[in-house]
Amino acid sequence: MVHIKRLQEDGADILAVIGEIDASSSIELDLAIAKSVGEGSTRILVDCSALEYISSAGLGVFMSYIEEFQDKKIKMVLFGMKEKVANTFQILGLADLLHISLNKQDAKKMLNELSV
């Protein structure tokens, strides 16, 4: 249901999330982020351009890392969301708590400008 591809670009880990994240598949997202962090990444980009759907289980995964990332000075930016997916983040006001950008170029810029 969800497939996550990991690649590296300009010193950042890019996690491309493809498909749908719900209560049965959110663990995949959690494992992918944990693996990236576990291997020492401090700059993470989440490519959401092929993310078709996300439920609260997936939102909860992103939220669960907010404090840890602040403590460990890890920066994460999400980018490329379709309107319907971005709307899900907006309903809960999470767009203000996470770093979300329109496209990869802006996301990289945001990653460089973020202070943690």
Q: Which of 7, 2, 12 is nearest to 105 (CA)?
A: 12
67 binds other proteins (CB under 8 A): yes
| Contact present, 62 and 28 (Cβ < 8 Å) | no
CB proximity list for 72: less than 8 A, separation 6 or greater: 37, 42
Find the shortest distance in angstroms from Cβ 42 to other proteins.
Answer: 20
Find the shortest distance in angstroms from Cβ 67 to other proteins.
Answer: 6
Task: Classify 40 in phi/psi space as left (phi over 0), alpha (psi -120 to 50) or beta.
Answer: left
> Of residues 18, 88, 104, 106, which one binds other proteins by CB under 8 A?
88
Draw the binding track, 1-20, toward other proteins (x: CB under 8 A; -: no contact).
Answer: x------------------x
Find the shortest distance in angstroms from Cβ 22 to other proteins.
Answer: 5
- Distance between first and last Cα of the chain: 33
Interface residues toward other proteins, by CB under 8 A: 1, 20, 22-24, 26, 30, 53, 55-57, 59-61, 63-64, 66-68, 83-85, 87-88, 91-94, 97
